[in-house]
Chains A and B, each alone.
Chain A
Amino acid sequence: MTEPDRAAGFEILKREDFSDVAYSLVVHHPRMAKAARPGQFVIVMLHETGERIPLTIADFDRQAGTITLVVQAVGKTTKEMQQSCKAGSVLHALVGPMGVPSSLTGRRKVICVGGGLGVAPIFPQARGFKENGAYVIGVVGFRTKQLIFWQEKFETCCDELILCTDDGSAGIKGFVSDGIKLAIARHRDIDEVIAIGPPVMMRACAETTRPHAIKTIVSLNPIMVDGTGMCGGCRVKVGDTVKFACVDGPDFDGHKVDFHDLIMRLGRYAAQEKTAAQRWSENCRMKDQIVPAVRASPSPIPTTSDLTRELLDHLDPFEQVLGG
């Protein structure tokens, strides 16, 4: 197939590695940088045979004409992107900004919560609230100190920043839900909590705020194909209704979202996901060997650091799908 007007792709200007698994890509797309609002996402295809994966817009720069995506290498596509996306390389497809932008006005005091992969996409929300004059409390959670990124970015737009680590190596020891509890204890007049991260984390956040009846918005990231409301793959139960996260969301009332349903539906391609990831990593090793005279028997990936392996072992099984 020859398609001259889509051969060009979308150029990556910069890449930054936060850890062995997390990295950011700054992509040139002036029109999108102009249109993007906090809470929106894009769909990316790495190459012609790739899949379409949704990624939240972590930042946008209207002057520079760029958008920033923060990716965690957990599935086949995100690992492959980690290997092949460099400054100067291109993404085959990039469409967006998708979804209804977050509502950031009319709030006096808010908590912006980001956990794991959700730390990056909560940033534009925090900045947006700050620009609209709200008092912003940031709560960001990481597994351990080495994985922390963008702390200085958050400090510029948060009136308070509560850093949480699972092992206590930085900030408070505990999950983001503990951070929310701390913030609620300090402030009695919180208008809204907005939480982005793995489904289990968002559920924990919603449960933390439910007794206090604080409005809690969560940003859902279910499996999508087109991202334009056409396939219905991303349907989620919110209260009594079924919504499509791509066009009705991705923001929903966290107290109404059926997280059990969401988590179950996120696992529906787990087996194929695994096949694809395995096949890909095997192919990579094949390429690394100079003369593959005999097909090597499967062995652990030698380049993976202990830290990464530990991380992968502890990953929420559904994050696999989340990350693509």
Chain B
Amino acid sequence: MAKKRTIRSIPQQRTPAREQEPAQRVQNFAEVNCGYTLEQALNEAERCLLCPEPACVAGCPVNIDIPGFIREISAKNFRGAYDIIAKSNLLAAVCGRVCPQESQCERLCVVAETLQPVAIGRLERWTGDRAITEHWTNVPYIERNGFSVGIVGSGPAGMACAADMAKAGCEVAVYEAFHQPGGVLRYGIPDFRLPNDVIDAEIGNLRKLGVRFECNTLVGRLFTIEQMIDELGHDAVFIGTGAGYPSMLGVPGESLNGVLSANELLTRCNLMRARDFPNYDTPIPLGRHVCVVGAGNTAMDAMRVCLRLGAQKVCCVYRRSEAECPARAEEVHHAKEEGIEFHWLTNPIEILGDENGKVRAMRCVRMELGEPDESGRRRPFPIAGSEVELQTEQVVFAIGTNANPIIGQTSKLRLDKRGYIEVDDNLATSMAGVFAGGDIVTGAATVIEAMGAGRRAARSIKRYLRIRDFDEPRTEAGSLFGIDLNEQNFARIRLA
């Protein structure tokens, strides 16, 4: 082992990642962040103190052994680095790109007490990308256990759960309503943040584990959750359908032509390739001036997509101030670099149309911040007489989503007041053998949180099916009179 690293001996500066220049990148859909080179990755890996009791791991929703993989990068055992990540996370290339590391692992990095934190996300991405280009796949020896698990939704929660269940030896089928798997990774996150080849590669890895993807399958309508257990022979079901149903603000003029949800804009552009219209048949509305309402990551994606589709001016309209903005700092920074105009403390009150029913302007009111509300953020109040009119031809709502009603309409699962699926601490729903996780339980959250939920649900499903889980440390609670309750041959009790 090399000599011990100290805060003084490591490279003091965080290694910057290569990026496309703003002026150039708004003309294309290629990735903005080009990732580290080998030298850059090695340099950044040197910055990790390799703490024996790492704080960063606790910040990772899937608990990747972060110092472990960084140590392997430093030792130039790149395959080893990938193997360590893959133990906890099959989607290294995805998560390295879309995780909000600054509020997770990197926030807890010890180096950050003095210097900038180790760029854990960029190193994870570099390792994941290397695995794709080198065609590394970790297909462990899997002993089939005869169980079958059905997974509803092929987004991050479903993919994470599918990977764990397949590795445990179950036969896994993932049902997806769209014609391509990937969920929000495919329809929501644009190519300049997460290229399609990366998603394809990660899904390819799942297939190598034996996971079967069944697209064009709308669970609830084509068959119900109950039928999945009774007729399709699944021993357990995981529901990870996401939140879906986009919110509107409820101001006059929302049905004018040129008003749409960020979900619609992004789905048309990303999944349906409307940006290549008319080579692809799906059209997309094009406005020279676009206003996007909201300031989350989806809003940033929507605005940057509009720029790339050829909009001359794109504005962000948000009722709170920049300090409350829920998007990742990096996304806001990228958006600003690309020339997005931010209207903080501004709230739409009406969308105005022309005689043909097309949007021509949006009337807004200026806001000021009062006392913090239940979310801990300061509640905005309108300032009387401060109305302004923003000229715009298109209004995109990126103000969050509500629960998708289909599973609720078609099953007896217990839902909460807002229509999300009710689960206990183990992510078990009110129906035996049916588990749920991700946005359909919590409301809109992040990719990695959904993956974390998928993995937690997988652990619960293993316990429910009495599959021995080698990854899980044995706890006292798992043993009764010295009998290990996690043993596979322990009497299997199925609740009716």
Contacts and interface: CB of A to CB of B under 8 A. Distances in A.
Interface of A: 1-6, 10, 31-32, 35, 40, 45, 49-52, 76-77, 92-100, 225-233, 235, 237, 242, 244, 247-248, 261, 264-265, 267-269, 272-273, 275-276, 279
Interface in B165-181: 177-181
Interface in B336-386: 357
B235 interface: no
10 contacts: A40-B221, A76-B281, A93-B216, A95-B179, A225-B268, A226-B177, A229-B404, A232-B263, A244-B245, A265-B257
A232 B264 contact: yes
A95 B406 CA distance: 14
Given A31-B223, A96-B218, A229 B244 contact: yes
B20 interface: no
Contacts of B406: 228-229, 247
A6 B178 CA distance: 11
Contacts of B246: 230-232
B18 to A, nearest CB: 26
Contact of A276 (B258, B260, B268, B281): B281
Contacts of A269: 283, 285
Given A76-B281, A231-B246, 6 more contacts: A1-B196, A1-B200, A96-B221, A232-B261, A233-B260, A247-B404
A75 to B, nearest CB: 9
A137 to B, nearest CB: 30
A225 B272 contact: yes
B280 A225 contact: no
Contacts of A237: 255
B13 interface: no
B215 interface: yes
A314 to B, nearest CB: 23
Contacts of B258: 268
A95 B257 contact: no
Nearest to A237: B255
B405 interface: yes
Contact of A49 (B177, B212, B214, B281): B281
Q: Counting chain A CB atoms within 10 Å of each CB, which of B181, B207, B221, B282 scores highest?
A: B221
A226 B216 contact: no
B167 to A, nearest CB: 20
Contacts of A49: 273, 279-281
Main secondary structure of the interface of B (DSSP, over half): loop
Closest 5 CB pairs of A and B: A272-B283, A231-B264, A93-B179, A51-B281, A268-B257
A228 B357 contact: no
B248 interface: yes
Contacts of A265: 255, 257
Interface of B: 177-181, 187, 196, 200, 207, 212-218, 221-223, 244-246, 248, 250, 254-255, 257-258, 260-261, 263-264, 267-268, 272-273, 277-285, 357, 404-406, 409
Nearest to A93: B179
Given A264-B255, A276-B277, A229 B215 contact: no
Contacts of B404: 228-230, 247
Given A49-B281, A51-B272, A235-B255, A6 B179 contact: yes
Q: Counting chain B CB atoms within 10 Å of each CB, which of A4, A276, A279 scores highest?
A: A276
B278 A225 contact: no
A52 to B, nearest CB: 7
Nearest to A272: B283
Contacts of B179: 6, 45, 52, 92-93, 95
Nearest to A267: B257
A235 B273 CA distance: 22
Given A45-B179, A264-B257, A95 B405 contact: no
Nearest to B213: A5
A93 B263 contact: no
B409 A100 contact: yes
Contacts of B279: 49
B248 A232 contact: yes
Contacts of B200: 1-2
Contacts of B357: 264, 267
A42 to B, nearest CB: 10
Contact of A96 (B214, B222, B285): B222
Nearest to B265: A231
A52 B271 CA distance: 11
Contacts of B248: 232, 235, 242
Contacts of B181: 3
A162 B81 CA distance: 74
A15 to B, nearest CB: 21
Contacts of B218: 95-98, 227-228
A64 B405 CA distance: 31
B461 to A, nearest CB: 23
B299 to A, nearest CB: 15
Contacts of A275: 278
Contact of A98 (B178, B221, B264, B282): B221
Nearest to B245: A229
B222 A229 contact: no
